[in-house]
Structure 1
Amino acid sequence: METTELLKRVRRIEIKTKGLSRQIFAGDYQSAFKGRGMSFSEVRNYQYGDDVRNIDWNVTARSNDPYVKVFEEERELTVMLLVDISKSSFFGTTRQLKNELITEICAVLAFSATNNNDKVGLLLFSDRIEKFLPPKKGRGHILRIIRELLDTKPEGQGTDIGQALTYFTNMVKKRSICFLLSDFLADGYEKPLRLCARRHDVIGMHLFDPRERELPAVGLIHARDAETGQMEWVDTDSRRVRAKYTDWYENHLEYYKNAFKKSGADSMSIETTDDYTKALLRFFKAR
């Protein structure tokens, strides 16, 4: 993409999403995420009724008096955006491609975070780690995140959600709010998700196009697999073919729902025809 056109698109997204994050999501963002993390503050003498699990045994041994650790709410959070940019995200039959919707949602979340003085980081992945931006603050950093979302083209051919979760877990040690945005047309990530959810507050965002749920009966078509690039003829008039595709899609969706439920992580689905602002507001209020 030409630099001038890229900057224009970044600016358009900033204007649209910055206003939404400030006017709509500020209060809901705070109530949904603030106070979820606890950080060590100090030690003090043990008092009757204190939780014995908070006893600092090192200080207690040195002083011969029982001391407990005091924790306080973390006022500054870290928000990580884990974004699937595999080739299946560059699909759409409505006014927006999936990756365009993902970019707008990421921008809203990023501006909501920076409005609350939180850090924001970005991890782009396909079947490999495409790019990693460590968490930082500031408008300039948010604009870079938007530029990378708009302009980064995947080198990988497939999707590996498990690898992305493992990389994130290893790279970011501080407890974070992790938004994982994908069409989740993959599996094999249940264990990495469970391990990630033990340390971080993970939210899965399933983005999908209405045409992905079932094949339309439009006759014989020459179709290309977006992930592998393989071409083959598909008879969409065949009920068996359409049923097989629907089963494939529903199996992936069921795997996604079960994996997040078992891990204790939150999840939500947004169709490209949905008003994502309403979907996000419903989610934030539910937390």
Structure 2
Amino acid sequence: MPSLLKRVKSKMFIFAHRRTLSLLDGEYGSVFKGRSMDFDELRAYVPGDEVRDIDWKATARHGSPLVKRYVAVRRHSVLLVVDSGRNMAAEAFSGESKKDVAVYAAGVIGYLACRHGDDVGLVHGHASASSFLPPKGGEEHLERLLREIDSTITLDGQPSGISGQLDYVLRYLKGRMLVVVVADEFIPDARTEDLMRRLRARHELLWLTVRDAELAPGTETQGIEAQGVLDSTDIGTGTGIPFLLAADRKVRAAYGHAMAQRAELRRTLFRTLGIAEEQAEGSADVVTTVFALLEKHRSGALTSGRRTKRGQRAG
């Protein structure tokens, strides 16, 4: 069976020439700059220590200032959290399967981690169950993760439910990680929003959304006759969408308006939660989407529920 990782790497070098790849490496590495340390012990404060390192609760109990000591973390863990429910077997905006886009996105992030000597793990699943493959290093392990994603996303699988995977990470995985979520385009409910907020507080959290397909794409430029009368199906619900209804101009206008409102709601939600999120329409823009996602997270464009002009992306 052809290697999925080789396919990812070949696409990366098509869309990312040497300079762009080095920029990707730089943006990935910058995610871990700053503290990049694990807690070791408490000790008495001495002049020159960072005020932000003071443990105020311990100081209050002890009666004199105590600061936290840290040890350097030389190897990081990257956790891919991938929606592998049947929603990801639907078409993406580009017309490809969302599964193919998800595999490529996970492959790009994982390959960058491998280049930096970091470990990569995977949590994936659907609304009913989650599976975990612990972080390890090396391209052979990354290939296994990509195959796991590719083989578990099917049209006859269980419906998607990313909240289950987020809950799994919070319940069972300890230690600060870079968590990259690759998921379907959706509006989080109250429970999922709470899980996202808690996950962001515990880990470095980035979110890559694979965009939904258009409603009856191509009808405006090719016409109904050129398209043929082909009905569509909502993979998540199994509901049929008659082509003639989907191609109606009024229906398409109403749908476009609803999707614009939905997109603004999503942007507002991610800004409020302080989570860097970008959307990929297909495999052709995964590399640029990953770069924008890393840059947005690194630059701190999302702070205190606000996004700076630098953090904004056209469209």
Q: Tell me, yes or no, whether TM beats 0.5.
A: yes
Superposition deviation, residue 70 in structure 1 = 1.4
Match of 2:199 in 1: 196
SS in structure 1 of the partner of residue 264 of structure 2: helix
- CA separation in 2, counterparts of 1:214 and 1:36? 47
Match of 1:229 in 2: 238
Match of 1:33 in 2: 32
Superposition deviation, residue 251 in structure 1 = 4.1
Q: Kindly provide the CA deviation profile for residues 143-196 of structure 1, in whole angstroms up to 9, marking residues without a partner as x.
A: 110111221135654332222212221122211111111232343122211111
Aligned equivalent of 1:250, options 260, 273, 289: 260
SS in structure 2 of the partner of residue 117 of structure 1: coil
Superposition deviation, residue 79 in structure 1 = 1.0
Superposition deviation, residue 80 in structure 1 = 1.1
Superposition deviation, residue 257 in structure 1 = 1.7
SS in structure 1 of the partner of residue 242 of structure 2: strand
Match of 2:137 in 1: 137
Match of 1:13 in 2: 7
The gaps in structure 1 that reach 5 residues or longer are 1-6
Stretch of structure 1 that moved more, 193-202 or 22-31 = 22-31
Contact persistence 1:34–1:75 (CA under 8 A): no
Q: How does 1:158-169 map to 2 (within 5 A)?
A: 158-169=159-170
* 1:271 equivalenced with 2:274 (yes/no): no
Stretch of structure 1 that moved more, 164-173 or 272-281 = 272-281
- CA separation in 1, counterparts of 2:112 and 2:294? 12
Stretch of structure 1 that moved more, 8-17 or 134-143 = 8-17
Superposition deviation, residue 258 in structure 1 = 2.2
* 1:77 equivalenced with 2:76 (yes/no): yes
Q: Kindly provide the CA deviation profile for residues 193-222 of structure 1, in whole angstroms up to 9, marking residues without a partner as x.
A: 111111111111122256259784665653
* 1:114 equivalenced with 2:114 (yes/no): yes
- CA separation in 2, counterparts of 1:176 and 1:11? 23
- Percent same amino acid at aligned positions? 24
- CA separation in 2, counterparts of 1:232 and 1:66? 66
- CA separation in 2, counterparts of 1:249 and 1:87? 21
Structure 2 vs 1, CA of residues 237 and 138 (structure 1 numbering), >3 Å: closer, same or farther? Answer: closer
- CA separation in 2, counterparts of 1:137 and 1:276? 23
- CA separation in 2, counterparts of 1:251 and 1:96? 25
The gaps in structure 2 that reach 5 residues or longer are 299-315
Structure 2 vs 1, CA of residues 251 and 191 (structure 1 numbering), >3 Å: closer, same or farther? Answer: farther
- CA separation in 2, counterparts of 1:21 and 1:178? 26
